[in-house]
Structure 1
Amino acid sequence: MTPTCVILDDYQNVALEMADWSSLRERVNLRVSTAPVVGEALIALLSDAEIVVMMRERTPFPAELFAALPKLKLLVTTGMRNASIDFAAAAKQGVTVCGTSSAPGTTAELTWGLIHALTRTIPAENANFHAGGPWQTSVGRDLRGTTLGIIGLGNLGQRVARVGTAFDMNVLGWSRSLSEETAKSVGAERAATLHELLRQSDIVSIHVPLNAGTRGLIGAAEFGLMRPQALLINTSRGPIVDEAALIDALKSGRIAGAGLDVYDTEPLPVPHPLRGLPNVVATPHLGYVTQANYRAYFTGVVEDIARWLDNNPVRVLTA
């Protein structure tokens, strides 16, 4: 019997265009969902699926969802890391979990888009331009000579650091495991502590994964250390920053602004305080949403499904 495959959260309705699915057309029944689905509606959507394709962490897969889907045999996530999957539950139920390759650096590129949007007030000036409003209302901030603090100098943080040095910024890096050698390799200086980085930086950009050690890493105490003109950029995960503390810091002028691509709840509810703050430039989790990345994702998805059907799975994830 031909298995059913459901592709979740294809918001742009492009999954079937971003890869060659022809090899699977007669092997699986493909079904695409283009909007967020939760609760009982999600269980109903997936109830007959042996294969489910996830787009990053848009739809979490906790133990309760696995338990409600006894037919599920293969779960494919785009990328090679997904903190929203309960891997123990998957193993207990005998579900194979596979990942895919990705295009490097896409989130680092968006980080700089948010930085420029904030420092040169691009959204407001663009809105004025298209509305026929006043001409040239703002005085932008220079990057040269200012300090960029990067929390997490892994792959993405290093890419952000190299661009910072190209703009003649002073770059500081910090993480619990960061070495002097790694920092120097990208033109950065290692901050002794997170608090030191926060005190010295004009722009703070977050590039650490969300885990027990980083959840709530930036809270009210940390905002109290930052400069009043400082900007916070978060393209990693929302809960790394205490949301209530962030909103308070932005409303009170404790910091000058924030560039955000990630949130505690996604999609962010419409009646949400962050949507009404003028010193926030925000995007709807676009860090990984690029043509090259989607092609890498869905090409990998096709291969994962084909190899699993051939009893030879690849890129199997266990945690």
Structure 2
Amino acid sequence: MRLGPHGARAPARTPQRTSCRCGGLVMVERILVVGPKDCLAMVDDLAPKGFEIVKALHNSPEQKAALPGAHYFVGFIQQYVTPQLYKEAPHLRLVQMLSAGYDRADLEAAGKSGVPLCANGGANSVAVSEHAILLMLSVSRRLITQHSNVVAGRWHGNAPPTVHEVRNKVLGIVGLGTIGKKVAKLAQAFGMIVHYYDIKRLKEEEEDALGVRFRLLPEILRHSDVLSLHVPLNDSTRHMIGKEELAVMKKSAIIVNTSRGPVIDEKAMTAALSSGNLFGAGLDVFDEEPTPPDNPLLKLDNVILTAHLAGPTFESNITRLRNGFDNVQRVARGEPALWVVPELAG
């Protein structure tokens, strides 16, 4: 095995193997895995046998050299899904994203190619749901303010901040997919009352089993003590929470966003937070990422901010690769790919 810079495997000459079944030579199919170092370090323990495995860092020479001969493109790769990808990699049989979101992928190009474009099968759902609960609790208890007071030697400060419990509070979940359902279960462990809005409404028996109740979006906005967003970013969800929607929310309400930044009108939310029309917000995503240093959100003391890191835990990265390699093997066996993005699913 030859390694390129930073420990990424350099693309080698495509090996051949003898097929006992036909007596001829067949090309070994190549899996190109692209991602950060911590993800690539897990590949060798999970990669299936019988394939050529090429590991490469983002936009590295190894990635560019290996792409033309790749049959399976795996990784945090939605940004590469463009018409150019399919020109440069004519042998592709599967584009397997390790991310849940795909708002940066060119779906038109993917559809025209006929190559399945697949998400991660909910691999990060545990991580993101836990992070959403973390943000709810941290904002409710003014965790950063309390921490800052202690380390600065102020102990309680001039006056202890007003903090809240989440028990018996109404959690409004917008988007009850895999992540939203897990958030609902975790919130119920804290005694929260869970309402949800989704364009795909559950059957009554499904609501009973999960312990949730459907509400229209205006009802969710008016009555929620905590609003948690779990929707994909598309034309229908961009700025779905804007100035008008924020205006009808309780002044004591908390917003949690672990989906995509532009789902909320960030300027309108910042204004509401600054004027006391919202209690606080816990945000893992922003309009622009990385968020610029002059973003007014960074100066507020009623927000908890994380750097779009809700999903990539050590455990979720293993699950992402496990799901991805399972899908590769399915396609290699001639079976339909799992987790094709909904817009392209047949």
Tell me the TM-score range normalised by the shorter chain. 0.7 to 0.9
Letter aligned with residue 275 of structure 2: S
Distance apart, 1:27 and its partner CA: 2.0
Cα 1:262–1:200 shift into 2, 3 Å: same
Counterpart for residue 52 of structure 2? 27
Find out whether 1:315 has 2:337 as its counterpart: yes
Alignment match of 1:63 (pick from 74, 78, 82): 82
Find out whether 1:115 has 2:164 as its counterpart: no
Matched-pair contact (CA < 8 Å) for 1:43–1:69: no
CA distance in 2, matches of 1:117, 1:13: 28
CA distance in 1, matches of 2:288, 2:314: 25
SS of equivalent to 2:195: strand
Letter aligned with residue 196 of structure 2: G
Distance apart, 1:306 and its partner CA: 6.3
Alignment match of 2:64 (pick from 46, 58, 64): 46
SS of equivalent to 1:173: strand
TM-score (norm 1): 0.79
Cα 1:171–1:307 shift into 2, 3 Å: closer
Matched-pair contact (CA < 8 Å) for 2:30–2:51: no
Matched-pair contact (CA < 8 Å) for 1:100–1:315: no
Same amino acid, percent of matched pairs? 28
CA distance in 2, matches of 1:305, 1:248: 47
Distance apart, 1:241 and its partner CA: 1.1
Q: Which stretches in structure 2 are left out of the alignment for 5+ residues?
A: 1-12, 15-28
Matches within 5 A, 1:158-307: 158-179=181-202, 181=204, 182-191=206-215, 193-304=216-327
Cα 1:64–1:188 shift into 2, 3 Å: same
Report which stretch shifted further, 155-164 or 237-246. 155-164
Counterpart for residue 153 of structure 2? 133
Q: Which stretches in structure 1 are left out of the alignment for 5+ residues?
A: none
Count of residues in Structure 1 that have an aligned counterpart in Structure 2: 306
SS of equivalent to 1:13: helix
Q: Which has more radius of gyration?
A: 2
Highest RCO, 1 vs 2 (Cα 8 Å, sep ≥ 6): 1
Report which stretch shifted further, 147-156 or 22-31. 22-31
Alignment match of 2:170 (pick from 121, 130, 147): 147
RMSD of aligned alpha carbons:
3.3
Distance apart, 1:194 and its partner CA: 1.3
Matched-pair contact (CA < 8 Å) for 1:43–1:68: no
Report which stretch shifted further, 88-97 or 158-167. 88-97
Distance apart, 1:16 and its partner CA: 2.0
Counterpart for residue 5 of structure 2? none
Counterpart for residue 86 of structure 1? 106
CA distance in 1, matches of 2:208, 2:333: 46
Cα 1:296–1:311 shift into 2, 3 Å: same
Matched-pair contact (CA < 8 Å) for 2:34–2:40: no
SS of equivalent to 2:96: strand
Cα 1:194–1:125 shift into 2, 3 Å: same
Distance apart, 1:227 and its partner CA: 1.1
Cα 1:284–1:6 shift into 2, 3 Å: farther
Distance apart, 1:162 and its partner CA: 2.8
